[in-house]
Amino acid sequence: MPDLFFLPVAPLPPNQIIWFGVLLLAGVIGGEVARRVLFLPRITGYAVAGLALGPEGFALIDKTLLHELRAFADISIGIILFELGHRIDLRWLKRSPRLVLTSLAECALGAGLVYFTLRHFFALDILHASAAAAIAVATSPAVVMRITADLGAEGQVTERALLLTALNCSIAVLALTALIPWLHLEYRGGWQTILLHPMYLLAGSFALGLAASAATLALLRWLGKREEMQVALLIALILATIGAAIALKLSVLLALLAYGALIRNLDRHYRLAAPDFGLTGQIFFLILFVLAGASLDLHAAWTGIVIGASLAAVRFAGKAVGILAFVPGDGMRMRQGLLLALALTPMSGLAVIMLQDTQSMFPEFGRTLASVVLPAVVLLEIAGPVLTQFALKFAGEVRPEPAAKD
């Protein structure tokens, strides 16, 4: 054995952890540059940093590594969806049925216009247009949650943006699941597959979310109200739920949304304090946006610029009309309604995951679907956070900057 065996030998062995660290570091720096120099949201900086280091940029991070890091993205989106589900306050919806109508109108009109545009101007078939419309229903939960938290936004536009996002994400995932029988029919699945697959996904994911909430409540009864313990417990149970959903081939999205919503509304004794993942939570957002940026396919976006821009535009128009129709009589001003619609523009990680899920079930269908939807996603991944930030600032709901000395 040579005497200096403890020294590293060149060439250095490859080590993904270093690159993961570098990627996150670039994200942190990118986020601060975006905020301080360009007055853009931090998350736009995260995504651009990811894009710069990813396969489309300097290619420091290749596709294999991105694939290996998928687990981190899954965990991040799981935690975010849990928090989002926890935003669904059924008592509020029961008191204000108008809010339910607003949500339904916003989803239906946005999806309807997207469907119509794809069918008539881009000559897409019914199934592709329907699936794309379903995906377009969802607002990026990560973007809306991160921006509201970063800006310290509080008020009706903020609260309603978060609630409508939680609802439209749930509706989008459900709608896409409901399309599964038609896809099986198209791609010649047996009747058992056609019937049982969506039922398994829906009932199974819901049952998993229910089991997780029941377990959480039982544990909280014993643990008590100490908040730091509650956060640790929640993260542990969220990870277990994500893992179980993947192992059982259920929908991670549905299971975690159900978990968050059920625990909020089943917790009759108020055992769970409002989950505040704090600094830990921020790192998950950083991971998610950097990875999302690194996986952006700029080339596809460029070739699909027309379809992407049209999709983004009609989606906004549909959502805006849907919201404005129900603003009168809901204690809100029209201006606030318009800003609310603007705040709901972002599309990003969730759309990509829905595309990936579809692609893993129906590879060929998924690929063409991606070419239709991805350009809009790329566009709104970059523009969406800016629009949301603008809407909340213009609504006067963000935390004021520390006043300069006067």
Partner 1 sequence: MGELPFKLSRPLTLGIELELQIVNTRDYNLTRGASDLLGALAKSGNPGDIKPEITESMIEMSSSVHTGHATLLAELRAMRAAIASAARKLNVGIAGGGAHPFQKWNDRRIYDTGRFRHLARLYGYLAKQFTVFGQHIHVGCADGDEAVYLTHMFSRYVPHFIALSASSPFHQGEDTSFDSSRLSAVNAFPLSGTMPLARSWREFESYFSKMRGFGIVQSMKDFYWDIRPKPEYGTIEIRVCDTPLSVDRAAALAAYAQSLARYLRLERPRAVCDDLYLIYNTNRFQACRYGLDADLIDPFDGSRAKLCQDLVATFPRVAAHAEDLGCRPLVQGLLMGAQGSGNDARRLRARFKETQSYADVVRWQCEQWMQPP
The span of 61-69, 153-161, 186-194, 215-223 binding partner 1 (CB under 8 A) equals 153-161
The pattern of x and - marking residues 23 through 62 that bind partner 1 according to CB under 8 A reads ----------------------------------------
Among 32, 62, 68, 154, binds partner 1 (CB under 8 A): 154
| Helix (H) and strand (E) counts in the chain | 19, 0
Least distance in Å: CB of 405 to partner 1?
Answer: 11
Q: Do residues 114 and 132 lie in contact, with contact meaning Cβ atoms separated by under 8 Å?
A: yes
401 is a contact residue toward partner 1 (CB under 8 A)? no
331 is a contact residue toward partner 1 (CB under 8 A)? yes
- Give phi and psi for 311, each to the nearest 5: -60, -45
State CA 350 to chain mean position distance: 4
Q: Do residues 158 and 342 lie in contact, with contact meaning Cβ atoms separated by under 8 Å?
A: no
Measured CA to CA, the distance from residue 22 to residue 81 in angstroms comes to 26
- Comparing CB distances to partner 1, the nearer of 64 and 96 is 96
Measured CA to CA, the distance from residue 293 to residue 301 in angstroms comes to 13
Nearest to 85 by CA among 206, 259, 278: 259
Q: Which of residues 104-143 bind partner 1 (CB under 8 A)?
A: none
DSSP 341: H
Residues in contact with partner 1, total (CB under 8 A)?
25
Measured CA to CA, the distance from residue 4 to residue 248 in angstroms comes to 49
Nearest to 164 by CA among 105, 103, 112: 103
Nearest to 175 by CA among 238, 112, 82, 96: 112
Least distance in Å: CB of 107 to partner 1?
Answer: 20
Residue 329, Ramachandran bin (φ over 0: left; ψ between -120 and 50: alpha; else beta): left
274 is a contact residue toward partner 1 (CB under 8 A)? yes
96 is a contact residue toward partner 1 (CB under 8 A)? yes
Least distance in Å: CB of 64 to partner 1?
Answer: 41
- Comparing CB distances to partner 1, the nearer of 86 and 146 is 86
Among 1, 13, 270, 279, binds partner 1 (CB under 8 A): 270
89 is a contact residue toward partner 1 (CB under 8 A)? yes
> What is the SS3 assignment for 402?
coil
DSSP 124: -
Among 330, 368, 390, 394, binds partner 1 (CB under 8 A): 330
Q: Which of residues 205-244 bind partner 1 (CB under 8 A)?
A: 224-225
The span of 67-75, 237-245, 348-356, 392-400 binding partner 1 (CB under 8 A) equals 392-400
276 is a contact residue toward partner 1 (CB under 8 A)? yes
Task: To the nearest 10°, report the CA torsion of 292, 298, 302, 305.
Answer: 0
Q: Where are the beta strands (DSSP E) in 212-286?
A: none
> What is the SS3 assignment for 8?
coil
4 is a contact residue toward partner 1 (CB under 8 A)? no
278 is a contact residue toward partner 1 (CB under 8 A)? no
Q: Using CB under 8 A as the criterion, which residues of the chain lie in contact with partner 1 when the complex forms?
A: 89, 92, 95-96, 152, 154-156, 159, 224-225, 270, 273-274, 276, 329-333, 396-397, 399-400, 406
